[in-house]
């Protein structure tokens, strides 16, 4: 289930389940969104991105959905594996060449 921990919302799933991580963004004018995965002691690693003129984009085992009406972004991970355990951040870009603004992050814990 999903819970709010001391620092990060945490999503705990079983190996093989599908995971959905949600993100609310702040700027309705943002034209670009991106998801990063961060493992302990490492820098953020790119997962998938989407432009504001799209509402869905698929990668390998991952799908990003964008709902501009409610300023909501989600990351779906199919057949979650223990190696997917990490903190996931969404980020938005208010306009081209502007800097990325990151959200707080969600910790995904995958049990074997």
Partner 1 sequence: DTGVSQNPRHKITKRGQNVTFRCDPISEHNRLYWYRQTLGQGPEFLTYFQNEAQLEKSRLLSDRFSAERPKGSFSTLEIQRTEQGDSAMYLCASIGSGANVLTFGAGSRLTVL
- Window 25-54: residues binding partner 1 (CB under 8 A): 32, 34, 36, 41-46, 49
- Other CB atoms within 10 A of residue 13 CB: 19
Rank residues 7 and 79 by Cβ distance to partner 1 and give the closer one.
7
Cα-Cα-Cα-Cα dihedral sign, residues 94, 99, 101, 107: positive
**Residue 15 Cβ, how far from partner 1 at the closest point, in Å?**
25
Cα–Cα distance between 56 and 5 in angstroms, integer?
29
Chain residues binding partner 1 by CB under 8 A are 6-8, 32, 34, 36, 41-46, 49, 89, 91, 93, 99-105
């Amino acid at each position: 289930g999903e819970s709010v921990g001391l620092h990060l919302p945490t999503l705990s799933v079983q190996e093989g389940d599908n995971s959905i991580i949600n993100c609310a963004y702040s700027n309705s004018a943002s034209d670009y969104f991106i998801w990063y995965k961060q493992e302990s002691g490492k820098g953020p690693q790119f997962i998938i991105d989407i432009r504001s003129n799209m509402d869905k984009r698929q990668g390998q085992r991952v799908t990003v959905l964008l709902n501009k009406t409610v300023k909501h972004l989600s990351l779906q991970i199919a057949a979650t594996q223990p190696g997917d355990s990490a903190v996931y951040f969404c980020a938005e870009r208010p306009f081209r060449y502007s800097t990325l603004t990151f959200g707080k992050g969600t910790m995904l814990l995958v049990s074997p």
